[in-house]
């Protein structure tokens, strides 16, 4: 794995605190980083951590999950079945803007005399705050206090507060704006990095009806091509001296202007409430009234109550799902909590949506949903917030008809989920590393299987999960073929995107085998549970007599490559025939390889972007023996670049399992500081959500050695020697299992009786004071 040097946040600017990410002075050189790491979201709406006054900035954005524009994909050479319409999550009008002028001097950090400037993200409370003192050219000392949060209690609401005071009489002007930044920046051209979002050259948001009343403004919009309706609005509560109020509007924004003649000890406060919501069509009167009702509730409750309710929601999360590591140091503990905060806040209020690759902290990858969600983020949700995990899987189910259409387009039975999407249609223009990654079908089934086994939610299986499981089994059985008593799958791309369109990719075949076996198992169980209900489902899916037996036979005959000489699982049938990439002669400036070498050049070599076989070793660990896992890891580790954020956490887990403790810690820190240390060099584009989920997995599956084969919880701890203790909790069916890990023992506390395997021995853990089990390291 290519070693990358993380960005070191200077301690004099960013001192250590286990719950607070503090910027102790104005640091313009780190704006590209802090706009991401100070981002706030609740999974429904999100806003980057830009400055309240709007300037300076790097990439400013406010987002609604799933709100997107469509555009025609232009192929230099067309072919049947290629994706035709792109989808891009777009920024919605920015309601964070607060412009301040004192005695005619605008507050702009690079140009004013700063006395004090502190900004911090309180991870425990979910609040972004600033404390600033500056001196005007007229000699006035101005004190500013900002507060911002995206409510976990009112899902469409962003709230903020500005407190301003002066030490001598001064003329103060504040403009609170709602700005359409998206269309103000059209025509900037396409990015050089294909991972970044499309830039539009024509107007996206078409204004519709607007409502103005008192200190409230609501604007309706419709996207130019996707025809999605949007409502954005703001309202205000003022305290302190009564201001003079006027309007300040232009083609791209609307502002309320407040002016005071302030005196010392008579400061002013502006509480601002911003709402953003979208629906499928042009917003009508009913929708505008609904937005008005949300703003009414916000005004009635007031910011202190809203903040308290928001903090209570977050406190509930921390009480049940914090991970405490003793001996790791404050920086590591804070990074763990920041990661957990991102995972929770980017999913807590999900509704009819999934989790984009960057969450709602940036719109790289066009805000698309990938397999990352099911494989890297769903384990965290299943064990911390199973209700949200169900919502994510339900959203996949809502794409079922589009998946059927896509399978027909590619001449397959069953269903084929899109590689990248927002609305359920395939949006991957580069099919070699996109649509060809058929493994996404099995990835989704893997997460359904894990969810059902861990939660016991049989009704979800009946209502939604089974249909996906059965339809994907039909797909795999149709895609593969028999040769020499083995079942083969050809012409696919595995998780490693530096190898494309191969035959018998080991990961794909192993996951397809799991999918086929689970489909047979589900069919057998459901037909026995409720025969009449099963017959209706069988008819709906179109399962012929004996078809489920065929699935089981195909699974049993599935070909998994194996090289006897090396004792490893080849990534695919041809991988070992290739020449190894010359890592020694590749300078760090040439990474990631995808930005510096033609795909055909990369495809000819043994070089990995993502963990592939090693990922299969982890996900399907019970199907690979220890000797094979070790051989696979030793072979693929040197070939795996750091070009994907998906690899480090999996390498950490497998390193821990295999007893490679130094490697486990190295890979863990690589994943942990992926964003806080800007290891990939693109934190500015948003949080690497899959890597964040991988950090949770590295802690729980890696260092705690937890496994959940068929829903049975076991622990084989591999805690780093540098740490003295680790504590976390898991939601398992109707039980919350609290785990305390030391180097000699594991303490288990449960709310309901549960069987847990520790170091190979089964223990019945009963509610009460806790069960202490000693184990051998």
Residues annotated as catalytic are 497
Stated length of the chain: 777
User: How open is the CA angle 129-669-506, to the nearest 5 degrees?
Assistant: 125
SS3 content of the chain, % helix, strand, coil (to 5): 35, 25, 40
CB 415 within 8 A of CB 403: yes
CB atoms within 10 A of CB 20: 18
Q: Please report which helix (H) or strand (E) contains residue 313, including its range.
A: helix 285-321
Tell me how far apart the alpha carbons of residues 551 and 555 are, in angstroms, rounded to a whole number.
6
Which of 131, 128, 112 has its CA nearest to residue 120?
128
CB 115 within 8 A of CB 135: yes
Taken in order 497, 501, 506, 510, is the CA torsion positive or negative? positive
Paired tokens of 100:
């301040």
CB atoms within 10 A of CB 122: 19
CB 116 within 8 A of CB 131: yes
Paired tokens of 95:
């309601």
DSSP secondary structure string, 102-125?
ETTEE--TTTSEEEEEEEEEETTT
Residue keyed to tokens 């086929």: 516
Paired tokens of 647:
């690899």
CB 381 within 8 A of CB 388: yes
Mapped onto helix, strand or coil, the DSSP state of residue 144 is strand
Query: Does a cis peptide bond (omega within 30 degrees of 0) precede residue 574?
Result: no
Tell me how far apart the alpha carbons of residues 678 and 191 are, in angstroms, rounded to a whole number.
19
Query: For the stretch 549-573, what's the b/e string if a residue is b when 16 or more beta carbons lie within 10 angstroms of its beta carbon?
Result: eebbebbebbbbbeeeeeebbbbbb
In terms of Cβ atoms closer than 10 Å to its own Cβ (0-12, 13-18, 19+), residue 327 is: middle
Tell me how far apart the alpha carbons of residues 575 and 262 are, in angstroms, rounded to a whole number.
73
* DSSP assigned state of 637: G
Beta bridge partner(s), residue 773: 746
Compute the CA torsion angle 130, 133, 136, 140 (nearest 10 deg).
130
CA distances from 58 to 54, 633, 694 (A): 10, 40, 28
In terms of Cβ atoms closer than 10 Å to its own Cβ (0-12, 13-18, 19+), residue 110 is: exposed
* DSSP assigned state of 711: G
Which of 504, 446, 507, 441 has its CA nearest to residue 475?
441
Which of 213, 165, 155 has its CA nearest to residue 345?
155
Paired tokens of 482:
């028999």
| HEC per residue, 189-230 | CCCCCCCCCCCCCCCCEEEEEEEEECCEEEEEEEECCCCCEE
Tell me how far apart the alpha carbons of residues 543 and 435 are, in angstroms, rounded to a whole number.
26
Tell me how far apart the alpha carbons of residues 220 and 228 are, in angstroms, rounded to a whole number.
11
Distance of CA 36 to the CA centre of its chain: 13
């Amino acid at each position: 794995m290519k070693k990358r040097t993380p960005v070191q946040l200077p301690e004099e600017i960013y001192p250590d605190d286990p719950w607070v990410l503090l910027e102790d002075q104005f640091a313009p050189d780190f704006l590209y980083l802090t706009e991401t790491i100070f981002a706030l979201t609740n999974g429904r709406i999100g806003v980057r951590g830009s400055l309240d006054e709007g300037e300076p900035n790097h990439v400013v954005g406010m987002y609604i999950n799933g709100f997107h524009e469509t555009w025609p994909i232009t192929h230099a050479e067309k072919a049947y079945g290629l994706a035709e319409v792109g989808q891009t999550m777009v920024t919605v009008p920015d309601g964070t803007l607060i412009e301040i002028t004192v005695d005619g001097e605008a507050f702009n950090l690079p140009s004013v005399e700063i006395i004090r400037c502190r900004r911090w993200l309180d991870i425990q409370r979910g609040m972004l705050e600033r404390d600033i003192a500056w001196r005007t050219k007229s000699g006035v000392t101005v004190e500013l206090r900002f507060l911002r949060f995206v409510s976990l209690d009112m899902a469409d609401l962003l709230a903020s507060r500005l407190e301003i005071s002066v030490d001598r009489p001064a003329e103060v002007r504040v403009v609170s704006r709602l700005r359409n930044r998206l269309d103000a920046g059209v025509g900037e051209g396409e990015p050089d990095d294909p991972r970044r979002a499309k830039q539009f050259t024509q107007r996206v948001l078409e204004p519709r009806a607007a409502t103005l009343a008192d200190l409230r403004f609501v604007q309706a919009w419709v996207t130019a091509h996707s025809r999605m309706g949007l409502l954005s609005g703001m309202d205000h509560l003022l305290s302190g001296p009564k201001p003079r109020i006027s309007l300040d509007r232009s083609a791209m924004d609307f502002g309320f202007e407040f002016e005071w003649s302030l005196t010392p000890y008579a400061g002013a406060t502006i509480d601002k409430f911003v709402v953003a919501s979208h629906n499928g069509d042009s917003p009508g009167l009913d929708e505008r009234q609904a937005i008005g009702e949300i703003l009414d509730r916000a005004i009635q409750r007031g910011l202190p109550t809203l903040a308290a309710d928001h903090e209570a929601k977050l406190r509930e999360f921390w009480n049940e799902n914090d991970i405490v590591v003793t001996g790791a140091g404050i920086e590591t503990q804070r990074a763990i909590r920041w990661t957990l905060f991102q995972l929770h806040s980017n999913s807590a209020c999900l509704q009819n949506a999934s989790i984009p690759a960057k969450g709602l902290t940036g719109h790289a990858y066009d805000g698309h949903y990938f397999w990352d969600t099911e494989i890297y983020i769903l384990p965290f949700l299943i064990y911390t917030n199973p209700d949200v995990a169900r919502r994510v899987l339900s959203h996949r189910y809502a794409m079922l008809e589009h998946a059927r259409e896509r399978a027909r387009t590619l001449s397959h039975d069953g269903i084929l989920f899109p590689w990248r999407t927002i609305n359920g249609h395939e949006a991957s223009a580069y099919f070699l590393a996109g649509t060809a990654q058929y493994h996404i079908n099995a990835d989704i089934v893997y997460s359904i299987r894990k969810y059902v086994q861990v939660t016991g939610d049989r009704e979800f299986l009946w209502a939604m999960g089974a249909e996906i499981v059965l339809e994907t089994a039909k797909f795999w059985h149709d895609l593969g073929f028999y040769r020499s008593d083995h079942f083969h799958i050809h012409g696919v791309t595995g998780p490693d995107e530096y190898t494309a369109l191969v035959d018998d990719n080991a990961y794909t075949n192993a996951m397809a085998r799991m999918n086929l076996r689970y489909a047979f198992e589900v069919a057998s169980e459901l037909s026995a549970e409720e025969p009449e209900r099963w017959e209706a489902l069988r008819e709906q899916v179109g399962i012929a007599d004996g078809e489920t037996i065929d699935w089981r036979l195909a699974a049993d005959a599935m070909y998994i490559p194996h090289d006897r000489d090396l004792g490893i699982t080849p990534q695919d049938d041809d991988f070992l025939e290739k020449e190894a990439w010359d890592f020694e002669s590749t300078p760090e400036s040439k990474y990631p390889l995808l930005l510096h070498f033609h795909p055909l050049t990369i495809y000819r070599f043994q070089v990995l972007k993502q963990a592939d076989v090693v990922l299969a070793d982890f996900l399907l660990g019970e199907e690979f023996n220890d000797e094979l896992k070790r051989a696979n890891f030793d072979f693929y580790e040197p070939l795996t670049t750091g070009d994907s954020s998906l690899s480090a956490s999996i390498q950490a887990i497998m390193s821990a399992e295999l007893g490679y403790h130094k490697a486990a810690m190295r890979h863990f820190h690589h994943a942990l500081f992926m964003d806080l240390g800007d290891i990939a060099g693109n934190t500015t584009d948003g949080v690497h959500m899959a890597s964040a989920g991988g950090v949770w997995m590295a802690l729980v599956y890696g260092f705690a050695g937890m496994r959940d084969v068929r829903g049975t919880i076991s622990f084989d701890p591999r805690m780093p020697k540098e740490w003295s203790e680790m504590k976390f909790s898991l939601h398992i069916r109707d039980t919350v299992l609290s785990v305390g890990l030391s180097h000699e023992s594991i303490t288990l506390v449960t709310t309901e009786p549960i069987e847990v395997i520790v170091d190979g021995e089964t223990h019945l853990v009963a509610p009460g004071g806790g069960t202490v089990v000693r184990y051998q390291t």
